[in-house]
Chains A and B, each alone.
Chain A
Amino acid sequence: MKKYKKYVVAAALLIISFGYIFISNETGVARIFVNLLTFAGIYGLAAIGINVHFGWTGLLNFGHAAFMGIGAYTTILLIPHALGREGVVVENGLPLPLAVILGMLAAALLGLLLGLPTLRLRGDYLAIVTIAAAEIFRLLIRDFEDITGGVYGVIQFSDSLQNMRPNFITNLATSIDVSSSQLWVGIITWTLIICVLIILSRLQKSPWGRALRAVREDEDAVRALGKNAVWLKLQSFMLGASIGGLSGILLAFNYGTLQSSTFVPVLTFYIWAALILGGVGSLGGPALGAVIFWVIISGTDSLAEFFFDNANGQQLAGVRFVFVGILIMFTMIFTPSGILGKKEELLLEIK
């Protein structure tokens, strides 16, 4: 019975938070739910990527935004799109599935390039290098305006995805009064999460997953036993990066526009917050953590009414992250391994 306790807690948390969203919004509940779950899915997928890095292999990656960014930019620039400022329309492009695969490969390649010189570093050094690399990536994207649209971004690319939307989803969206394009992105996101989790659960139980855990525990011992620790770390880095790339692509389709300012460092830290809430090292934890994170983000508007008479946007933005911070503090105190994490594999004791 004790084994199932954390799942009961997880279910209870979900019911309470969904209940709260339901009660606190008198109108447009469906719309809020679709928005929340779509964002949560995208952040959750990104957190699953970081989980492969940190939870499985012990790599501190603080530059996940760059992997998301390169995935998004590669894919979007390969399909029909228009550049923001001049409105240069590119009508020809690759079919979307192919572009998505190339986007994920680009993210994996960036992981390889970043990993080759840095994976010899340990713990906090890798964290510093990745956060710097992510900023360099974002600034390059911003400044190469001819290709990436710079600060004006990329627009008019959503059709590639939305044209694939089956009619029944459009009908469903109309009947419950939600945005049909966001519903479609949300459904795709959660389908992909399930696919990714099925693949990862196979890998986690495999000799390869076992080897990654050994690297996480003690690299020197791994080397003494004849295994190439650097290569294992590179593989993990590339796999997690490509999952991050996939979530970046979905993020772009959810926003409908693509801008370099999306991939600021704080995006990486929101994803880390989701991962820590959900449980480092667990399979489904990151996605659950992302849902809780987004419940707080969308629930704060009504919560803030207890504190302010007429809250403005800035105050709300502040309150939001006060709540996230408090929740992370409580998680750390009461269940340091996150909601779904294993106590025995508590990983937040960074060497």
Chain B
Amino acid sequence: MKSNRLLEVSALQKSFGGLQAVDVDSLEFSKNQITSLIGPNGAGKTTFFDLITKFQNPDKGTLIFDSQDITALPSYKLARLGMTRTFQLTRVFEKMSVLENMQFSGSSLKYESISRSLIKGKMLNNFERELEEEVDRILELLNLSHMKYSYARELSGGQKKLLELGRALIKNPKLLLLDEPLAGVNPKLAEEILDIIQKLSIEGINIIMVEHNINAVMKISERVVVMAEGKIIADGNPDAIRSDEKVIEAYLGKVDE
């Protein structure tokens, strides 16, 4: 029986000194959904992201991705399994061109070996040509075609977000983890990014995102998970979350009666 669960997190804990940054008992992400993770600053959202992508090691807990135990795997192996993330502060390869950024992400490990790179057979050349066509297709989708040969550092903040998204897309991920994809992006570009995210979801890519822009979150998410002080305090569809008392309390503080 094929399960509908994509990612299962259980008993995940991480503390820094005395601070319990993340303490999640059990959380499941199912396929074909846009899930948003929200919460006040310092709620542990990014740490949670780092833990499930293994950029930080959890103190305790198990992670199961697509029916496979990934708890002990290093981050790059998770990415190879189809779990690709972006970063809160964009991390493009600044002194490489947009094309090279995309090519690096899309190139296969087989052709990236030193011996194959030295020999440079016909197969490698063909692969690189097909890769460039794929890059062109994605850059078109992201409206970045005109910047193809520019250094990535010449891009604006929003364009860098797009490039990072594109770099993740070319890997055909099963699960895309977006850490604040709209942060520091102008409203018009934010609309575009939201459209792209929705389009990707329809194409069958599962998306989990951390985002502070509540309107955007409510507009596109099918499920919203709210974190505060490392714990999950609410979990449900956008309408339920909007009226959840605990959520309002976490964002606005306790109301004295």
Contacts and interface: CB of A to CB of B under 8 A. Distances in A.
Interface of A: 199, 202-203, 206-211, 213-214, 216-218, 220-229, 235, 239, 344-345
A225 B171 contact: yes
Interface string B107-126: 10101111011101000100
A325 B104 CA distance: 39
Most buried by B among A206, A209, A224: A224
Contacts of B84: 224-226
A221 B120 contact: no
Contact of A344 (B74, B116, B151): B151
A344 B53 CA distance: 32
A25 B191 CA distance: 72
10 smallest CB-CB distances across A and B, nearest first, come from A226-B79, A206-B117, A208-B117, A217-B93, A221-B91, A226-B80, A207-B112, A207-B107, A223-B76, A214-B104
Contacts of A206: 117-118, 120, 124
B91 A218 contact: yes
B174 interface: no
Nearest to B173: A226
Contacts of B103: 207, 210
B94 interface: yes
A344 B150 CA distance: 11
Contacts of B114: 203, 208, 235, 239
A63 B114 CA distance: 24
A227 B76 contact: yes
Contact of B96 (A217, A220, A225): A217
B120 A202 contact: yes
A285 B114 CA distance: 23
B150 to A, nearest CB: 10
Given A207-B104, A226-B77, 18 more contacts: A202-B117, A202-B120, A208-B116, A211-B112, A213-B95, A216-B95, A217-B95, A218-B93, A223-B75, A224-B55, A224-B85, A224-B87, A224-B91, A225-B104, A225-B105, A227-B112, A235-B114, A239-B114
Contacts of A210: 96, 100, 103-104, 107
Most buried by A among B100, B105, B111: B105
Nearest to B124: A207
Contacts, number: 103
B50 to A, nearest CB: 10
B112 A208 contact: yes
B98 interface: no
B167 to A, nearest CB: 7
Contacts of A224: 53, 55, 75-76, 79, 84-87, 91
B95 A344 contact: yes
Contacts of B96: 210, 213-214, 217
B100 to A, nearest CB: 6
Nearest to B79: A226
A203 B84 CA distance: 27
A203 B87 contact: no
Nearest to B114: A208
Contacts of B55: 220, 223-224
B2 to A, nearest CB: 24
Contacts of A225: 76, 79, 84, 104-105, 167-168, 171
A235 B168 CA distance: 25
A208 B147 CA distance: 24
A7 B55 CA distance: 44
B92 interface: yes
Interface in B39-98: 53, 55, 74-77, 79-80, 84-87, 91-96
A283 to B, nearest CB: 15
A350 to B, nearest CB: 14
Contacts of B101: 214
B134 interface: no
B3 to A, nearest CB: 24
A209 B112 CA distance: 8
B128 interface: yes
23 contacts: A202-B118, A202-B120, A207-B107, A211-B112, A213-B95, A213-B100, A214-B101, A218-B91, A220-B55, A221-B93, A223-B55, A223-B74, A224-B76, A224-B84, A224-B86, A225-B79, A225-B168, A226-B109, A227-B76, A227-B79, A227-B109, A229-B76, A344-B95
Contacts of A208: 112-114, 116-118
A344 B95 CA distance: 7
Contact of B111 (A202, A207, A221): A207
